[in-house]
Amino acid sequence: MMHFVIMSGRLRRPRRFYGARWKAVLLSPAILTVLISALAFSTPREIAFSRLLPAAPALAAAMWPVLPTVLLGAFCLLVMISLSFFYTDLGTPYTAAAIVLVTLAAAYASHVRIQREEALFQVRLVADAAQKVLLRPLPSRINDVEIESLYLAAQEQARIGGDFYEVADTPYGVRLLIGDVRGKGLSAVGAASAVISCFRENAYDQPDLRGITRRLETSITRYSAAFPTQDLPERFATAILVEIPHDGGAIRILNCGHPPPLLVHRGEIRVLEPSTPSPPLNLAALIGDHYYVDTVPFDPGDHLLLYTDGVTETRDRAGEFFPLPEWMRRNGPAAPRDLLDRLHHDLLSYSGGRLDDDIAALAVRCPNSRGPTPAA
């Protein structure tokens, strides 16, 4: 399964074929034609390799445009006619008719394939535009705080999904949001968009994380009511809000049922489980709207990794989950970009190149020195 990766807002697509291998694939119809022609001329006529010539334009339809496909079929027809001068009993009329019919069918198939590829390309352009709105590029540094992002879409056709993140430089500090809407399809994308839009609006106005969270709860509740679906009882979002004050020293974390972040503090790895659980978004009506904020040290040089459950639920061939805390200990402190690059590579290696869920991650590093505190 192919996947897409978004790093710091830039869409990248890993290549499966490189250099000579990719060229060999594109040239395979021509190579097949030459091989069949050579065998037809060099082997006894009883074998009749010439009857395989219609396979060449059929193969070309899968990867070539219409005109080259037709030209290849014409070349195969010329080869068959040439063979008829050497062997009079090859059944040339029947093979030639097969080449003509297959070439016409291959040309039509190539035309239909190109039309579908163009339509899919336009859909992907729209998806890319929506992706840039939903997960817009993040600055690599905000008030000396280094921040990098990673987004991996599990499926080629689904460049956007229910995982989301955002960062805002506010008068109260740098505020981060990462979360995951439970569910699939456009309804999950819509709910994620509602949460992100609400965060972008309220992160600058609300003086504490609880106020932001209550606004997020209201936003996703209204969205769910406006766009009801059969899975409405299951539509909720887990999320983490983090506030990094401008004066440094500590960070504040509000965890709404999300996988706990990892903190590298003075060389030690800490799993930041919430002291008191807070309800996921859109479940406050069922279990209450009591939100709890934890404060943890965040000294110069410390690292913070926020992620969605697609990271920890990545499985290997034996069905074992990806051991993120152990992986973090093995890799040690690293620049945010390097850390996410390694995570991307190791997740693909661990899963054998197959991802079953979307993945989002934010890597943050506290600066070794602070600049001046911006005015509120």
Q: Tell me, what CATH number does 258's domain have? A: 3.60.40.10
Residues 203 and 76 in one domain: no
Residues 156 and 72 in one domain: no
Residues 101 and 146 in one domain: no
Residues 110 and 160 in one domain: no
Within-domain flag for 267:
yes
**Which residues neighbour 226 within 8 Å (Cβ) at sequence distance 6 or greater?**
none
Whether the per-residue pLDDT at 54 is higher than 90: the answer is: yes
Within-domain flag for 9:
no
Is residue 179 within 8 A of residue 29, CB to CB? The reply is no
Average confidence score pLDDT of the chain: 85
Nearest to 74, CA basis, from 98, 91, 99 = 99
Within-domain flag for 278:
yes
Within-domain flag for 1:
no
Residues 114 and 230 in one domain: no
Within-domain flag for 7:
no
Whether the per-residue pLDDT at 129 is higher than 90: the answer is: no
Q: Which of 75-84, 155-164, 169-178, 301-310 comes out lowest in average pLDDT?
A: 155-164
Of 126, 151, 177, the one marking the end of a domain is 126
Q: How many domains does the chain have?
A: 2
Of 126, 153, 175, the one marking the end of a domain is 126
Question: What is the reported pLDDT for 369?
Answer: 58
Residues 38 and 167 in one domain: no
Whether the per-residue pLDDT at 178 is higher than 50: the answer is: yes
Is residue 123 within 8 A of residue 96, CB to CB? The reply is no
Sole residue written with tokens 């106020």: 211
Could you tell me which residues are beta bridge partners of residue 207?
Answer: none
Is residue 260 within 8 A of residue 272, CB to CB? The reply is yes
Within-domain flag for 224:
yes
Residues 242 and 97 in one domain: no
Residues 161 and 115 in one domain: no
Within-domain flag for 37:
yes
Residues 112 and 188 in one domain: no
d(CA 333, CA 345): 17
Residues 314 and 211 in one domain: yes
Q: List pLDDT tens digits, range 226-274.
A: 877 665 556 789 999 999 998 878 999 999 999 999 999 888 999 999 9
Residues 210 and 328 in one domain: yes
d(CA 234, CA 229): 10
Of 72, 101, 126, the one marking the end of a domain is 126
Residues 70 and 165 in one domain: no
The domain in which residue 356 lies consists of: 139-366
Q: Which amino acid is at 148?
A: E
Q: How far is CA 18 from CA 25, 346, 348, in A?
A: 11, 21, 18
Within-domain flag for 133:
no
